[in-house]
Structures are given as C-alpha cells and as structure tokens.
Structure 1
Amino acid sequence: MEYDDAAAERLEAVYLGPDVVSQREDTLQRISVQKGERVLDIGSGPGFLAAQIADQTGPGGEVVGIDISEQMVDRATKRSEHDWLSYRCADATELPFEDSYFDVVVSTQVAEYVPDVAKFFVFSNPADVL
C-alpha cells in the first residue's frame, strides 16, 4: 500500500486526533511493556505507538514496527529518536521473524485492511489476545 505525501499527512493527523491518542494510551496500559522487552508493532503506520513503546522498553529492549507501506515506514524511521526502535516494510500475514522472538506483539487498526484475516489471526496462545 502506497501513500502520497498528502495521504500520509492526513493519516498522521488522524493518528494525532484525540480518539486515536486515547486508544494508544489504552493499548499501552493493556500491554504493560517492561524495560528490556522485545516488542513488535504490526501495522505501525506513522510509528507513534511504537515510539511510545520504545520509551517504555528503554535501550535494553528492542521495538520493531512493521507496515506494508514503504512510505509510512520511511516517515516513521525519520521520526525515530531511539537506537532500539526500527521500522521495516513487511506483510502482516508473512512476518519475517522467528516464532517467539518477541515478548509482546501488538496490532491496532490493522485487521480491517488485511485481505486474509484468518491468516492474520494465528496465535500460539489465544489466551494472550486482549
């Protein structure tokens, strides 16, 4: 999925709106990331959630945001302020990581855009889904 600059700016504005900011704060409380954890943000978009997660993990952790849009990955990467935070272009249904590599995996506002949602919702432990 590609965004031109105008579309990317509109999407970022939505992510800075009060509803999404509130959702992000709720998500951060629910996942309760600890210092030093490895966290994957699937569908990281402009990177706001991943950046806040990186604040929580600290430099002993690792946070990776993936998004299918190269333009969104580029924008999030340019905004990144932490060495332990990175962004990659990847498909949410074909993750380029070993199973169980991450301590926490989070994804918000993504499933509705995934063509094969059954492939997206594959969990090793369904009890871990919030």
Structure 2
Amino acid sequence: MNPDTLRTDTNFAGRIPELYDRLLVPMLFESYATDIAKRAAALGPSHVLETAAGTGAVTRALARELPAHAELVATDLNQAMLDRASMTPIDKPVTWQQANALQLPFDDARFDIVVCQFGAMFFPDRTAAYTEAHRVLRPGGALLFNVWDRIEENEFADTVTEALSALFPDDPPLFMKRTPHGYFDREAISRDLSNAGFDAPAHFDTVTRRSHASSAEDVAIAYCQGTPLRNEIEARPRASLDDATSACAAAIAARFGSGAVDGKIQAHVILAQR
C-alpha cells in the first residue's frame, strides 16, 4: 500500500466517527463485538489491552463481559475515534489512550490478552503489529482478533463497491475491497503471526451473521460517508458524495428491497497463544 493510500484508508476524521458510530456499529460491529468479548472473558484475563478500539463497540462489550477486577485499556491510532468512544458512558473504568498498534507504549509482558476487532486489515505492517502484541503479552497470554472475510461473502460491502465501480468506471474507489476485505487469507495471516513470534498454530473460526439496517439509504450513508471510502469518493471529480450515496442506495434497494434490509456478513476470528 503506497503512503497516500495508507493515509486515505486510515483517515477516520471529520464526520466519519459520528456516522460510523451511529450507523455502522449497530449494522456491522455490535454482534461481532459481543462475540469477541465473550471469547476474551472466557480466557479469564485480569489485564486487557484493546487495540484499534474505534468508537468503542468492543470496549463496551468487554466492560459488560469482564469481571469487575479486570483492568481494561483501550487504544486507537485516531484520537477522533477515541473522543467519540469516550462520549458513551461505560459502567466499568476504562483507560482510553491514543496509541499506534505498531509501537505500543507499554512494558513487556504487561497484559494477559490483546483484543483487536477489525483493525488488523488497516495495519501497514501486520507482522510488526503482531510482534508488538507478542511483546506486551505475558507468557501464556493470547492475541484475539477478527478480520472480515472476502468481500463476496459480505453482501452490503460488495454491492456498494460494484455500484461505485459503475459510477467511476475509470478510477473506481476500491477501499472496501482493498482494506476492510483485503486481509482474509488464512495462510497469510498464519504466516504473519508466525513471523511475529506466535509459534503455535493459530485457531481460526469463521462466523457468519446478518447485517440489518432500517433502509437502503442508511446502508449507503454508512459506507459512503461513515468510512474512509468517503475520502476516495470526495477525491474524484466525476460525481459528488451525494451522487455516490444515491447510486449505492439504489443498488442496495435493487438487490435487497425497499424498507428494512439485511444482508450476509462474514468474518474470521483468530486466537493466537503466546
């Protein structure tokens, strides 16, 4: 990934955090957040680090699932996302900290578990990120994370990408396919983990859910305006952000119907033991 693309794909700023939290979190992330939080709690950790916490979907789920004594530290590269996350009250104390997953500001063997939901796809150097997770984990600790499966297994994202490819045929915005749905190969993930020092074979579990939204327009707004896909659309002169959103809403409605819509989503959950 070239530096300009990296900056675009990881730029969660402006209106993106608010739309992401209001539309995408319930549409895509909450059910997986509950799933990964329950898996984390089942391991009985006392010191928990979350990386790429975003607007706090997993943080809130971890706060519900972890025992009262467990320490919870939530980090993200983007301060704007953490600012949005901290606006939602959480009954359990949480330490919010801006941090780069490739350069974690924590001591060696500091945590029992590192949890990361749908963040590994955005890391410019995944082996470096896993190496940092390995470093801050105590012996016997675990890295627990999930990644989206290929875009064809995620119907809303696939439909939006196809609609935008038709609207911008000469230079289609491919953020969804390139980044959120670009890191699904089990062999590649296993190789990156092994290179980072996780010697035991990682455990993979493929989890399928349904994504729900009140309308096709909400889906289109969520993807086109509530993710870094917005940055790609706004950089293209052929059509406006509103035009792109409308085109995607029409495509979603054509495929899934008018009124409330739902589509298949699928992800891999990975557990790597230190």
TM bin (shorter chain): 0.7 to 0.9
Paired residues of 2:30 and 2:57 also in contact (CA < 8 A): no
SS for the counterpart of 1:22 is helix
Instruction: Identify the residue that residue 107 of structure 1 maps to in structure 2.
Output: 116
For 1:36 and 1:112, the matched residues in 2 are separated by 25
Paired residues of 2:50 and 2:75 also in contact (CA < 8 A): yes
Number of aligned residue pairs: give it. Answer: 128
Whichever residue aligns with residue 102 of structure 2, its letter is T
Instruction: Identify the residue that residue 56 of structure 1 maps to in structure 2.
Output: 65
Paired residues of 1:66 and 1:90 also in contact (CA < 8 A): yes
C-alpha RMSD of the superposition: 2.2
For 1:35 and 1:41, the matched residues in 2 are separated by 15
Deviation of residue 65 (structure 1)? 0.7
Instruction: Identify the residue that residue 56 of structure 2 maps to in structure 1.
Output: 47
Instruction: Identify the residue that residue 16 of structure 1 maps to in structure 2.
Output: 26
Distance 1:54 1:35, change over 3 A: farther
* CA shift digits 1:83-119 (9 cap, x unpaired): 5212111101111111221111111111111111220
Matched, 1:78 2:99: no
For 1:30 and 1:58, the matched residues in 2 are separated by 13
Whichever residue aligns with residue 54 of structure 1, its letter is A
Pick 1 or 2: higher relative contact order, CA cutoff 8 A, min separation 6: 1
Deviation of residue 73 (structure 1)? 1.1
Whichever residue aligns with residue 116 of structure 2, its letter is S
Identity of matched residues, %: 24
Q: Which runs of 5+ in 1 are unaligned?
A: none
- The residue correspondences of 1:23-38 to structure 2 (distance < 5 A) are 23-33=32-42, 37-38=46-47
Deviation of residue 68 (structure 1)? 0.7
Paired residues of 1:51 and 1:85 also in contact (CA < 8 A): no
- Higher mean C-alpha displacement, 85-94 vs 55-64: 55-64
TM-score calculated relative to the size of structure 2: 0.42
SS for the counterpart of 1:92 is coil
Compare the two structures and name the one with the higher strand fraction.
2
| Larger CA Rg, structure 1 vs 2 | 2
Paired residues of 1:33 and 1:104 also in contact (CA < 8 A): no
Runs of 4+ in 1 over 4 A off after TM superposition: 33-36
Q: Which runs of 5+ in 2 are unaligned?
A: 1-10, 136-196, 203-269
Deviation of residue 81 (structure 1)? 2.3
Paired residues of 1:46 and 1:73 also in contact (CA < 8 A): yes
Paired residues of 1:2 and 1:71 also in contact (CA < 8 A): yes
